[in-house]
Amino acid sequence: MKKIVILIMLFMSCAALWAQDTNDLLNKLVEKNVLTQAEADELRDSAKEEKKSTATQTVEKVRNFFNSPYLQIGGNGQLMYKYSSVDNVHHDFKAKNLFISINGKLNDSFRYGFLAELVNPSVQEFWGEWTAAKEFNLKVGQFKSPFTLESQLVPATLETAAYSRTISNLVGYAGEDDVLKKQNNKNNFGRDAGVMISGELVSAKSHNLIQYSAGMFQGTGVATGETNNSKDFAGMLLLQPVKGLRIGGGAYFGEASYIKSGETEVADHVRNRWYLSADYKSDRFNARTEWIHGNDGGIDKEGLYALGMYYIMPKKLNVLGKVDYYNKNKDMNSEAIDYTVGLNYYFYPMCRVQLNYTYSDFSTKWDAPNASTVFAQLQIAF
List the beta bridge partners of residue 309. 286, 320
What average pLDDT does the structure give for the chain? Answer: 89
Mean pLDDT on 197-209: 94
pLDDT at 145: 97
- Write out the E strands in the chain: 67-68, 71-84, 91-105, 110-117, 122-133, 136-144, 191-203, 208-217, 232-242, 245-258, 267-281, 285-296, 299-313, 317-329, 334-348, 351-362, 371-381
- Of 329, 280, 337, which is closest to residue 309 (Cα–Cα)? 280
Band (pLDDT 50/70/90 cuts) for residue 21 is: low
Query: Which pLDDT tens digit goes with each residue over 308-321?
Result: 999 999 999 999 99
Query: Which pLDDT tens digit goes with each residue over 331-371?
Result: 999 999 999 999 999 999 999 999 999 999 999 999 999 99
Band (pLDDT 50/70/90 cuts) for residue 51 is: low
Q: How far apart are CA 260 and CA 86, in angstroms?
A: 27
Q: Check whether 40 has a pLDDT greater than 80.
A: no
List the beta bridge partners of residue 267. 258
Phi-psi region of 251 (alpha: psi -120 to 50; beta: other; left: phi over 0): beta
Query: Which pLDDT tens digit goes with each residue over 135-178?
Result: 999 999 999 999 999 999 999 999 999 999 999 999 989 888 99
List the beta bridge partners of residue 362. 336
Band (pLDDT 50/70/90 cuts) for residue 228 is: confident
Band (pLDDT 50/70/90 cuts) for residue 8 is: very low
Angle (nearest 5°) at CA 227 between 225 and 229: 115
Mean pLDDT on 229-249: 96
Neighbour-count burial of 294, counting CB atoms closer than 10 A to its CB (0-12 exposed, 13-18 middle, 19+ buried) = buried
Residues in the chain: 382
Query: Which pLDDT tens digit goes with each residue over 63-76?
Result: 666 678 889 999 99
Q: Check whether 187 has a pLDDT greater than 80.
A: yes
pLDDT at 5: 43
Q: How far apart are CA 285 and CA 260, in angstroms?
A: 42
pLDDT at 263: 85
Residues 6 or more apart whose CB falls under 8 angstroms from that of 291 comprise 275, 276, 302, 303, 304
Please say whether the beta carbons of 281 and 311 come within 8 A: no
Residues 6 or more apart whose CB falls under 8 angstroms from that of 274 comprise 249, 250, 251, 292, 293
Q: Check whether 304 has a pLDDT greater than 90.
A: yes
- In order of 60, 190, 270, the CA distances from 260 in angstroms are 56, 21, 11
Q: How far apart are CA 223 and CA 192, in angstroms?
A: 8
* Max Cα-Cα span within the chain: 101
pTM for the structure as a whole = 0.82
Q: Check whether 17 has a pLDDT greater than 50.
A: no
pLDDT at 26: 66
Residues 6 or more apart whose CB falls under 8 angstroms from that of 271 comprise 179, 180, 219, 232, 252, 254, 255, 256, 294, 295, 296, 297
Q: Which domains does the chain have, with CATH numbers?
A: 2-61 (no CATH), 73-381 (2.40.160.10)
pLDDT at 345: 98
pLDDT at 180: 87
